[in-house]
Amino acid sequence: MSARTLHLNLFVYPGGHHEAAWRYHGTDPKRLLDIGFYQDLARRAEAAAFDAVFFADGPSLADNVRHASRFRLEPFTWLSALAAATERIGLIATASTTYTEPYNLARLFSSLDHLSGGRAGWNIVTTGASQAAGNFGLDEHPVHADRYDRAREFVEVVTKLWDSWEDEALVVDQKSGVFADTDRIHEINHTGRRLRVRGPLNLPRSPQGRPVYVQAGSSEDGRSFAAAHAEAVFTAHQTLRGGQEFYADLKARARALGRDPDRLLVLPGISPFIGSTEAEARALHEEFDDLTQPEYSLQLLRRLLGLELSAAELDGPVPRQLVETRGERGNGSRFRLVLDIIDREQPTVRQLLHRLAGARGHRVVTGTPEQVADQIQEWFEHGAADGFNVMPPWLTGGFDLFADQVVPVLRQRGLFRTGYGGATLREHYGLPRPAAAPVR
């Protein structure tokens, strides 16, 4: 293997990751639903030799769309249109194991992988937003443990579906008239605790065999799921120490399961405010903070974390007691992260809201291109990251600054590629193409 180098994804959010991005003068909010805008963005990320573009997703409308561009672009359609505008960059779609049928999901990913020439990745989520339940006829959103239980079986099923055509099944012999060798196409006949699926899939095996398996939960269930199944993990950490703890833990878990830890990439989120001087970068960051709307952020805290701070004085301290009584909520990893910020930084309520406005708990860095590169290098070389999910505060300008100014520094330091060595997302990530598992 050649020298270890960074992996960089562009995490795309309508408008950008800062909650006030759409209000910033550098953003064109009329283009938030314009596929051409996203195609152009994907082309720029490809020109910078990024590993992938990534779309989050959830099958419900956030309750804070009044104040921010929080609708949801549907990832499969959107990424298929980006595939048509690009040639190399990976395409990672978030899709829920709780609110989709495995046969339908398997088809969508197989097709995306076919039409993109092997560039599909699946960010496996169980859906955190409880309001999704009502869109699928459920009274209650299934609890965390139940969701992960289904997720494990779901991954088993779709893996079997993606392997249900052997690579050699497609014969296409015009002369003999054999199109496919049906002895190499297998029903999967899965009957488990939660799912029954017969198969086979109705598409030949795709260029990558299976999409790259990505996972983004950092809870106990999430870590154990990632160690077993994921090939890349998206994660949120505010401090080098937090990142190192997670990185070491995940790699150890993978090793304990007999996996090669190099085939499980850890990619924390990073949201960079870049200026030609540190002061300029700080001023830019402040300009965004001034555009935030407390009502929005308070709603986000309430929904994501169960924290109700709307009665608190914005310029007073975060009420400790209130925070402590809510500490057992749901998933937990993002909640703990917010508690850590409060402990470490003792912010006012307004400061906390600004702290989270950038990237919903992901790490925000502010500085010159060299300073941002330093931060990336430090995490990469000190056991906290194999690369990053880059979350520009606004699009496309916030990405252009990174691509034009930080990427060249990373390249000078030998940390990032100058072009693509391979054609598929697996090749970009240094992951093998899995053989189809034999039929049992």
Closest to a second copy by CB, 203 vs 342, is: 203
Q: Which residue bears the tokens 């500490």?
A: 327
Count CB atoms within 10 A of the CB of residue 207: 18
Q: Site residues for a second copy, window 321-380 (CB under 8 A)?
A: none
> Under a CB-based contact definition with an 8 Å cutoff, are residues 288 and 393 in contact?
yes
Tokens of 424: 């598929």
Q: How remote is the C-alpha of 390 from its chain's centroid?
A: 10
State the Cα–Cα distance between residues 248 and 385, nearest whole angstrom.
10
Nearer Cβ to a second copy (76/246): 76
> What's 134's DSSP letter?
G
Residue 153: CB minimum distance to a second copy, A? 12
> Across-strand partners of 47?
none
* Residue choice 52, 56, 185, 232 for contact with a second copy (CB under 8 A): 185
Tell me which of 2, 30, 140, 418 binds a second copy, using CB under 8 A. Answer: 30
Residue 314 within binding range of a second copy, rule CB under 8 A: no
239 binds a second copy, rule: CB under 8 A? no
Closest contact distance (angstroms) between CB of 143 and a second copy is 19
For position 423 contacting a second copy by CB under 8 A, the verdict is: no
b/e code 164-173 from CB counts within 10 Å (16+ = b): bbbeebeeee
Identify which range of 96-104, 244-252, 355-363, 383-391 contacts a second copy by CB under 8 A.
96-104
CB of 81: closest distance to a second copy in angstroms?
4
Site for a second copy (CB under 8 A): which residue of 4, 47, 87, 179? Answer: 179
User: Which 132-171 positions form the footprint of a second copy (CB under 8 A)?
Assistant: 134-137
Nearer to a second copy, 65 or 257 (CB): 65
The residue among 136 and 420 lying less far from a second copy, judged by its C-beta, is 136
Q: How far is the CB of 62 from a second copy (least distance, A)?
A: 8
| Strand duo 52-55 + 7-12: pairing | parallel
302 is a site residue for a second copy (CB under 8 A) = no
- Told to check if 181 binds a second copy by CB under 8 A, we report yes
Helix (H, G, I), strand (E, B) or coil at 120: strand
CB of 340 within 8 A of CB of 238? yes
Q: Which stretch binds a second copy (CB under 8 A): 3-11, 172-180, 349-357, 384-392?
A: 172-180
DSSP letters, 73-86, are: --HHHHHHHHHTT-
Sites for a second copy among residues 31-70 (CB under 8 A): 32-33, 35, 39, 58-62, 65-70
**What part of residues 9-28 is at the interface with a second copy (CB under 8 A)?**
22-23, 25
Contact 69, 21 (CB under 8 A): yes
String of b and e for 45-54 (b: at least 16 CB within 10 Å)? bbebbbbbbb
**Three-state secondary-structure class, residue 131:** helix
Total residues contacting a second copy by CB under 8 A comes to 72
Region near a second copy per CB under 8 A, out of 112-120, 142-150, 269-277, 346-354: 112-120
Residue with tokens 């598409």: 203
- Closer residue to a second copy, CB minimum distance, 28 or 245: 28
CB of 373 to a second copy, least distance (A): 32
What values do phi and psi take at 50, rounded to 5? -60, 150
Q: At 215, is the secondary structure helix, strand, or coil?
A: strand
Question: By the 8 A CB rule, do 138 and 228 touch?
Answer: no
Q: Report 195-234 residues binding a second copy (CB under 8 A).
A: 195-204
Q: Which stretch binds a second copy (CB under 8 A): 102-110, 148-156, 219-227, 355-363?
A: 102-110
Return the range that interacts with a second copy (CB under 8 A); candidates 178-186, 300-308, 319-327, 416-424.
178-186
Cis peptide before 200 (omega within 30 of 0): yes
190 φ, ψ (degrees, to nearest 5): -75, 125
